């Protein structure tokens, strides 16, 4: 390892990644639609984990409320489309902006009053309940029944008949998120975030404006998550508070990131791929029925999480590439 | 007048429910007060006890109130086991570690319940819990009265235990000054295990007492946990009387929210309250903040 | 020489215990200034107040003429107050290089330039061989060096050193004294809390003595060592000043 700290990846690594991405991109053209959908959902959880990793893995801010940003993204673009004929390609950015604002304001208020660590996590959990209640209560948002969109051949409005374009979109998001994480790691903001993750007081004493940093990273993470929300809405063509605010998304985000290795670029991807693929394989085994298989798989996740956290806190990615 | 008796009825119902919530919160606050661990799986323990009661009723025909009496010691053991296997290494570790370990427990408990019982809502009837108590103009369902009474008794017993027994004194010593407790020879790991076991058993007993009128499915754990958290914070972490008072408040707030608004708004209201308290008065009503 | 730091009637209570009581003194720009006193006398509390980690109940901290009382530590750091912690706090998972670089980044914003400067500072403080070592793997001496390097890297005008010589062997204390002298010669004013009196007397131009939250002496090291109040409260009758 060079003395420059985080060095640029070697040409070999870059080539390997390019090949992997290329393979992933052509994958859907050679498999059944069912596999394309499965792949899309796996990549979706990869992307969510990458977003959460920014706030939790790099800045150390454990949010249990990222589903709020998912919902903001989904509802914003959908309502803009349904009521104002704004294409989701544009609405997606409005959603991201709103989510960034919301994340910034909520966390600013929390940090202003020195709410940290576990208490911050619980506040985020509480905010999920509050927003779930709000979103379920407003008719314009479809109430508890949600909003349905109609499937059509309408690429200008992110509506595709084939499943493949959705797959490519989420793949692009995963790649962009990885690139974004790479850039963040090497930026001043990223270095500040990592320092405050390690020791907030020492970081402050070293000149890190921790208040501002935490908020900015959370806002970025929120905006990124909201992009996934719009994607989700357009992919399922159906949004409802019950699924959007489901703790399942949160668990997947955390599992993938922690098991794969938080605070790393590849960690969330590796972890989510592992769980996604493993889960799909186990669920499709003819041994038990799918509902029971799903529960068994999740029990395994839970145990795995406990073991990893206690024994292998650096996750899978931490198993190699350890510096002195 | 109709509305005033409505209010009284709703308030009474809320107060009764609040006591049961308070018991769950008491278990939570003991664990936090003694070893500084936020157990995200706390609510799921109550849920597990409720399913245990359901199973005992299904397969042994055991009345839920009898089952509750058995489940208390059973869950003392369960709590001790959980502590030994998963919680002990997380004590004193980073908040992230604690959160993730207890969340892992949550996942395991929830999906075990889902595996065994499925997602349908279940209920259990008890002949003891039938009927209602008439107090003036108020009509109080017996099952709720029993749940409230049982919770209050349990809290009082716990308070006495902490106050008057050696175990209890050790627990309080460890809670207020861990280093000092170690120095005088109190076996901290043992004390922590006992406190965790107690906390677990409290949640279990509360759940078991709610079984005769509360609909059960594997996903009700979150609700209990979040309410326990809200109550523990508002009442002041580590404070038993605070938990009772805050439990009553939350019970009433929820009851009114449910009655005048919708269920989802009621939940939102409760958490709005939590967030306000966390922001402006983190020590709660009666607690001393152990940051 | 104007006063770089002015402490005016600072008071702080912790739950009924008066940690600091009407403490006042000034520090001129340039040179080394010592704060000594028994444990619990309030020294680290004073540092925490100066660096912004806690707010005083009463009193004013003036830095370069400006009232900076109660400002956030990062603001004060950028204004020019750097500090070390009594128990060294390296970032466990960051390397020595990354740690120093974080501190440099508040002055030098470009990553490449900041990295170069961090490497140079690491050399200066004897950490050149340990650039890739993570904070959690450093031994005590290395942590102290890193603590110093980090504080120095923030480019302070005023450097607060909290018992940096504690636990060092005499030979190591000498090395430390040389480092502080070199730092002070770069026009950085050093304010040091120390129990190792040899170091204080070797470096400090002036010394303030705290006892139970109050200042009981303020003068040259020789004057302070001879002061009967100081002898009684802290030094002991058998103490012979170097």
Mutation site, A116, A119, A126, interface B, largest B CB count within 10 A:
A126
Q: Cβ–Cβ contacts within 10 Å for residue A48, how many? A: 30
- pLDDT tier at A322 (50, 70, 90 boundaries)? very low
Instruction: Please give the pLDDT value at position C121.
Output: 95
Q: Total structural domains in chain C? A: 1
Three-state DSSP class for C37? strand
**Containing domain of residue C168, as a range?**
3-86+156-235
Alpha carbon distance, N-terminus to C-terminus of chain B: 48
How does pLDDT run across A223-264, given as a tens digit for each residue?
999 999 999 999 998 898 888 998 889 988 988 998 888 899
Does residue A18 lie within any of the structural domains?
yes
Q: Whole-angstrom Cα distance, residue A216 to residue B80?
A: 42
CA–CA min distance A200, chain B (Å): 13
Whether B271 sits inside 8 A of A302 (CB atoms) is no
The torsion defined by the Cα of C200, C205, C210 and C216, in degrees rounded to 10, comes to 130
Q: Is residue A5 part of a domain?
A: no
Q: Above pLDDT 90, what percent of chain B?
A: 40
Task: Kindly list the partner chains of chain C, i.e. chains with 3 or more CB atom pairs below 8 Å.
Answer: A
Element containing residue C22 per DSSP (H, E): strand C17-28
- Alpha-carbon distance of C235 to C223, in angstroms, equals 13
Half-sphere exposure of A41 (CA within 13 A, CB side): 13
Does a structural domain hold residue C185? yes
User: What contacts B138, CB < 8 A, 6 or more positions away?
Assistant: B5, B8, B9, B12
- Answer yes or no: are the C-beta atoms of B143 and B129 closer than 8 Å: yes
Segment 99-118 of chain C within 8 Å of chain A by CB: 99, 101-103, 105-107, 109, 111, 114-115
The answer to whether residue A101 sits within a structural domain is yes
For an interface test with B, the pick among A68, A112, A119, A292 (most B C-beta atoms closer than 10 Å) comes out as A119
Partners of residue A204 in chain C, C-beta under 8 Å: 52-53, 72-74, 77
- Stretch (H or E) spanning C213: none
CB < 8 Å to A123, chain B: 274-275, 278
The domain defined by B2-115+144-280 folds into ABC transporter involved in vitamin B12 uptake, BtuC (1.10.3470)
Structural domain tally of chain A? Answer: 1
- Maximal CA-CA distance, chain A: 58
Do residue A207 and residue C111 have CB atoms under 8 angstroms apart?
Answer: no
Q: Using CB atoms, pick whichever of B101, B110, B267 lies closest to residue A309.
A: B101
Closest by CA to B33, choosing from B222, B184, B168, B207, is: B168
Contact (CB, 8 A) for C148 and C125:
yes
Contact status, residue A207 vs residue A192, Cβ threshold 8 Å: no
B37 alpha-carbon distance from chain centroid: 15
Rounded to the nearest angstrom, the minimum Cα separation between A10 and chain B is 33
Tokens standing for residue C69: 């009382």
Q: What is the pLDDT of residues A114-146, one digit of tens each?
A: 888 888 888 888 888 888 888 887 777 777 778
Residue C146 lies inside a defined structural domain of this protein: no
Q: How confident is the model at residue B3 (pLDDT cuts 50, 70, 90)?
A: low
CB contact under 8 A, B278 and A115: yes
CATH number of domain containing A219: 1.10.3470
Q: Would you say how long chain B is, in residues? A: 291
Please check whether residue A50 lies inside any domain of the structure.
yes
Assess if residue A276 is contained within a domain: yes
Nearest Cα residue in chain C from A196: C91
User: How much is the pLDDT for A224?
Assistant: 97
**Nearest residue of A to residue C50, measured between CA atoms:** A205
Report d(CA B164, CA B189) in Å as an integer.
21
In a domain, A87, yes or no: yes
A203, C105: Cβ pair inside 8 Å? Answer: no
Residues of A in contact with C95 (CB under 8 A): 5, 323
Residue A6 lies in a domain: no
What number is the ipTM of this complex? 0.90
| Chain A nearest CA to C182, separation (Å) | 21
Find the residue in A nearest to B272 (Cα).
A130
Within a 10 A sphere around the Cβ of B54, how many other Cβ atoms?
20
Q: What is the pLDDT of residues B87-119, one digit of tens each?
A: 988 887 777 888 889 999 999 999 999 999 988
Domain-embedded: residue C219:
yes
C95 interfacial to chain A (CB closer than 8 Å): yes
Dihedral angle sign, alpha carbons of residues B96, B97, B101, B104 = positive
Interchain proximity B275–A130, CB inside 8 Å: yes
Asked if residue C145 is part of any domain, the answer here is no
CA distance A1 to chain B (A): 29
Q: Which residues of A touch B43 (CB under 8 A)?
A: none
A-chain residues within 8 Å CB-CB of B222? 247
Work out how many CB contacts closer than 8 A connect A with C.
Answer: 100
At B230-241, the pLDDT tens digits run 898 888 877 888
Tell me the pTM.
Answer: 0.88
Give the C-alpha separation, B199 to B202, whole Å: 5
CA distance A154 to C194: 74
Confidence of residue A2 (pLDDT cuts 50, 70, 90): very low
Residue A1 has pLDDT above 60, yes or no: no
Q: Does residue C241 surpass a pLDDT of 80?
A: no
**Interchain proximity C89–A191, CB inside 8 Å:** no
Chain C residues in contact with A211 (beta carbon < 8 A): 72
Task: From chain A, pick out residues whose CB is under 8 angstroms from the CB of C89.
Answer: 199, 201-202
Question: Hunting for tokens 């400002």 — which residue is that?
Answer: C71
What average pLDDT does chain A have? 87
Portion of chain A with pLDDT greater than 70, in percent: 95
Half-sphere exposure of residue C25: CA atoms within 13 angstroms, side-chain side: 21
Structural domain that includes position A198 = 11-319
Beta-bridge partner residues of C66: C63
Of the pLDDT bands very low, low, confident and very high (cuts 50, 70, 90), residue B68 is: very high
CATH number of the structural domain spanning residue C27: 3.40.50.300
User: Could you tell me the residue ranges of all domains in chain B?
Assistant: 2-115+144-280
Does A204 sit within 8 Å of C74, measured CB to CB?
Answer: yes
Q: Which residues of A touch B84 (CB under 8 A)?
A: none
A3 lies in a domain?
A: no
Q: Point out the residue among A194, A204, A324 whose CB comes nearest to the CB of C94.
A: A194
Give residue B177's pLDDT band: very low, low, confident or very high (50, 70, 90): confident
Q: How far is CA C134 from CA A191, A310, B124, B227, C122, in A?
A: 15, 20, 57, 41, 14
Alpha-helical segments (H) within B36-94: 42-60, 64-82
């Amino acid at each position: 390892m060079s003395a420059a700290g985080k060095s640029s990846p070697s040409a070999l690594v870059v080539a390997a990644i390019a090949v992997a991405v290329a393979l992933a991109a052509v994958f859907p053209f050679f498999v059944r639609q069912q596999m394309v959908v499965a792949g899309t959902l796996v990549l979706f959880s990869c992307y969510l984990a990458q977003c959460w990793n920014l706030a939790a893995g790099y800045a150390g801010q454990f949010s249990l409320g990222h589903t709020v940003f998912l919902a903001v993204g989904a509802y914003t673009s959908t309502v803009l489309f349904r009521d104002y004929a704004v294409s989701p390609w544009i609405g997606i950015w409005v959603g991201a902006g709103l989510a960034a604002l919301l994340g910034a304001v909520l966390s600013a208020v929390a940090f202003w009053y020195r709410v940290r660590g576990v208490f911050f996590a619980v506040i985020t959990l509480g905010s999920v309940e509050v927003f779930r209640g709000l979103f379920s209560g407003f008719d314009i948002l479809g109430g508890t029944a949600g909003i349905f969109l109609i499937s059509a051949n309408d690429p200008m409005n992110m509506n595709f008949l084939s499943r493949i374009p959705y797959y490519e979109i989420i793949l692009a998001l995963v790649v962009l998120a990885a690139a974004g994480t790479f850039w963040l790691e090497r930026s001043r903001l990223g270095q500040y975030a990592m320092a405050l993750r390690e020791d907030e007081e020492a970081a402050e004493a070293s000149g890190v404006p921790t208040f501002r940093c935490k908020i900015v990273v959370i806002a970025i993470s929120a905006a990124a998550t909201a992009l996934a929300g719009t994607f989700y809405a357009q992919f399922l063509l159906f949004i409802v508070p019950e699924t959007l605010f489901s703790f399942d998304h949160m668990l997947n985000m955390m599992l993938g990131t922690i098991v794969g290795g938080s605070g790393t670029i590849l960690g969330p991807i590796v972890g989510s791929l592992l769980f996604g693929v493993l889960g799909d394989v186990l669920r499709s085994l003819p041994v038990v029925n799918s509902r029971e298989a799903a529960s068994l798989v999740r029990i395994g996740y839970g145990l795995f999480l406990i073991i990893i956290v206690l024994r292998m806190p650096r996750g899978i990615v931490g198993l190699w590439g350890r510096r002195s | 007048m109709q509305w005033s008796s409505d209010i009284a009825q709703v308030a009474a119902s809320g107060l009764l429910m609040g006591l049961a919530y308070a018991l769950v919160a008491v278990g939570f606050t003991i664990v936090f007060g003694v070893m500084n661990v936020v157990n995200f799986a706390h609510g799921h323990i109550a849920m597990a006890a409720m399913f245990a009661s359901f199973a005992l009723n299904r397969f042994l025909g055991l009345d839920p109130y009898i089952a509750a009496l058995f489940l208390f010691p059973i869950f003392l053991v369960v709590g001790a086991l959980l502590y030994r296997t998963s919680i002990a290494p997380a004590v004193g570790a980073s908040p992230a570690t604690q959160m993730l370990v207890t969340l892992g427990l949550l996942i395991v408990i929830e999906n075990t319940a889902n595996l065994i019982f499925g997602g349908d809502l279940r209920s259990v009837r008890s002949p003891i819990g039938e009927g209602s108590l008439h107090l003036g103009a108020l009509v109080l369902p017996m099952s709720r009265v029993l749940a409230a009474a049982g919770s209050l008794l349990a809290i009082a017993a716990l308070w006495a235990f902490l106050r008057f027994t050696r175990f209890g004194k050790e627990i309080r010593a460890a809670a207020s000054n861990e280093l000092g407790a170690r120095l005088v020879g109190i076996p901290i790991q043992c004390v922590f295990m006992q406190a965790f076991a107690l906390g677990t058993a409290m949640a279990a007993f509360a759940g078991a007492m709610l079984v005769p009128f509360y609909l059960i499915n594997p996903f009700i754990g979150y609700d209990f946990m979040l309410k326990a958290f809200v109550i523990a914070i508002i009442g002041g972490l580590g404070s038993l009387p605070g938990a009772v008072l805050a439990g009553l408040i939350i019970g009433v707030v929820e009851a009114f929210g449910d009655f005048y608004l919708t269920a989802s708004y009621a939940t939102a209201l409760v958490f709005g309250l939590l967030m306000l308290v966390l922001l402006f008065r983190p020590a709660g009503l009666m607690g001393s903040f152990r940051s | 020489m104007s006063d770089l730091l002015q402490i005016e009637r600072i008071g702080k209570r912790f739950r009924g215990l008066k940690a600091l009581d009407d403490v006042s003194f000034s520090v001129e720009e340039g040179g080394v200034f010592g704060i000594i006193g028994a444990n619990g006398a309030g020294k680290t509390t004073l540092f925490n107040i100066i660096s912004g980690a806690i707010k005083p109940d009463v009193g004013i901290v003036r830095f370069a003429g400006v009232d900076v009382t109660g400002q956030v530590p990062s603001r004060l750091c950028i204004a020019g107050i750097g500090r070390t912690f009594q128990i060294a706090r390296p970032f466990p998972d960051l390397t020595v290089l990354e740690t120093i670089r974080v501190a440099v980044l508040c002055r030098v914003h470009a990553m490449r330039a900041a990295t170069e400067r961090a490497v140079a500072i690491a050399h200066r403080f004897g950490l050149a061989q340990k650039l890739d070592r993570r904070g959690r793997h450093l031994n005590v001496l290395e942590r102290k060096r890193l603590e110093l390097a980090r504080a120095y890297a923030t480019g302070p005008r005023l450097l607060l050193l909290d018992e940096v010589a504690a636990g060092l062997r005499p030979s190591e204390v000498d090395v430390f004294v040389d480092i502080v002298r070199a730092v002070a010669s770069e026009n950085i004013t050093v304010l040091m809390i120390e129990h190792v009196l040899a170091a204080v007397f070797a470096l400090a131009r002036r010394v303030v003595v705290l006892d139970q939250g109050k200042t009981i002496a303020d003068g040259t090291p020789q004057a302070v060592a001879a002061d009967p109040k100081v002898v009684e409260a802290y030094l002991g009758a058998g103490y012979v000043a170097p």
